[in-house]
Amino acid sequence: MTDQPGNTEPSFREKHSRSIRIWHWSTFVIIMGSLITVLLAKTMLNTRSNIPLVQQSLQQSNVTVTADQAKSVAHAFNDKVWNWHIYLGYVLAGLFLFRIVFEFFQPKKEKVIPIIRNALKYLKQPTADKMHGRHYLLVRFAYVSFYCALFVQVCTGLFMVYSDDMENLKDIRHTASDIHSVFMWLIIAYIVIHITGATVAEFNKKGKGMISDMINGGEENE
Ligand code: HEM
Ligand code: HEM
């Protein structure tokens, strides 16, 4: 993007400040870690499916336990993974806060709203490449939608931590948990589309080099 907003074609080859790069790759690692904890808690370390395993293992040492007793052991392992999920959740919440704060300190050309405004202005020009301009805007709106989804995920997650064991908040916690589960799928959908899109663009003339721009900061309009 050039210094005259709206006059030139918005480019996918943009400069990325150090803050956004650190934020981007840290968020990538933490979200992947978070998804791994969910996967483990729901499959390998799922409480119910491990009850027979606990009973069989103890049986081999001639100890017989009821399903309820075995459940508390299986549950302890499940809890451990959820604790990891919560620790990663705190880091993610911190990263989200960091993303909001440093937006105010970003160079104007890298701020979300001016970027969108610039692309809208560009689209109004008669000579604009409409396909490219709309595609660029769609990608930007996808980023904003992702930030909104992350906000919901952080709020519902923190609420679940806060409301744990609070009998009077049980119903709201249940709703928060449902929202949290649905938003996980929206975030997964975003990640799949985003990584596919970034990879496809990397092999295209207009986007070639954009992934390395996200690593080393990028040279504008190379
Ligand atoms: C959990 C996984 C990921 C999430 C949540 C994520 C999220 C985001 C977000 C929100 C942005 C926009 C930043 C902004 O300007 O405000 C972004 C940009 C970008 N991401 Fe990711 N990302 C993920 C993984 C990846 C991966 C694996 C790659 C590389 C293959 C990648 C490549 C890029 C690139 C090249 C951009 C800059 C594109 C542009 O300027 O339009 N991302 N990512
Ligand atoms: C990308 C981010 C996240 C994803 C994909 C995610 C996903 C999930 C899923 C699928 C569950 C299980 C819900 C259920 O079955 O009821 C869950 C539970 C939970 N999550 Fe997250 N979460 C994320 C971020 C967070 C954050 C930021 C926090 C805040 C600390 C958090 C805290 C929790 C808590 C407290 C639970 C309940 C654990 C339990 O039942 O003991 N999560 N999460």
Nearest to 16 by CA among 221, 202, 216, 194: 216
Q: Give 10's pLDDT tier (boundaries 50, 70, 90).
A: confident
Nearest Cα residue to atom 37 of ligand 2: 160
pLDDT at 178: 98
Question: Across residues 3-29, what is the average pLDDT?
Answer: 84
pTM of the model: 0.94
- For 107-127, the pLDDT digits (tens) are 998 999 999 999 999 999 999
**Best probe residue, ligand 1, of 199, 214, 220, 222 (max atoms within 8 Å of C-beta):** 214
How large is the C-alpha radius of gyration of the chain? 23
Percent of the chain with pLDDT over 90: 88
Per the CB < 8 A criterion, the answer to whether 82 and 37 are in contact is yes
Quick one: tokens of 2? Answer: 């050039």
Report the C-alpha gap between 214 and 222 in whole angstroms. Answer: 14
What atom in ligand 2 is closest to the CA of residue 160? 35
- For 52-100, the pLDDT digits (tens) are 999 999 999 999 999 999 999 999 999 999 999 999 999 999 999 999 9
Residue 1 has pLDDT above 50, yes or no: no
207 lines ligand 2 (CB under 6 A): no
Residue 51 vs residues 36, 40, 48, 113: alpha-carbon distances, Å: 22, 16, 6, 52
Name the residue ranges covered by the structural domains of the chain: 16-105, 107-222
Question: Across residues 25-48, what is the average pLDDT?
Answer: 98
Residue 7 has pLDDT above 80, yes or no: no
**Best probe residue, ligand 1, of 194, 202, 213 (max atoms within 8 Å of C-beta):** 194
88 lines ligand 2 (CB under 6 A): no
**Best probe residue, ligand 2, of 160, 169, 170 (max atoms within 8 Å of C-beta):** 160
Residue 47 has pLDDT above 50, yes or no: yes
Nearest Cα residue to atom 21 of ligand 2: 157
Lowest mean pLDDT among 3-17, 107-121, 126-140, 182-196: 3-17
Nearest Cα residue to atom 7 of ligand 1: 24
Which residues in 104-133 are b (16+ Cβ under 10 Å) and which e? eebeeebeeeebbebbebbbeeeebeeebb
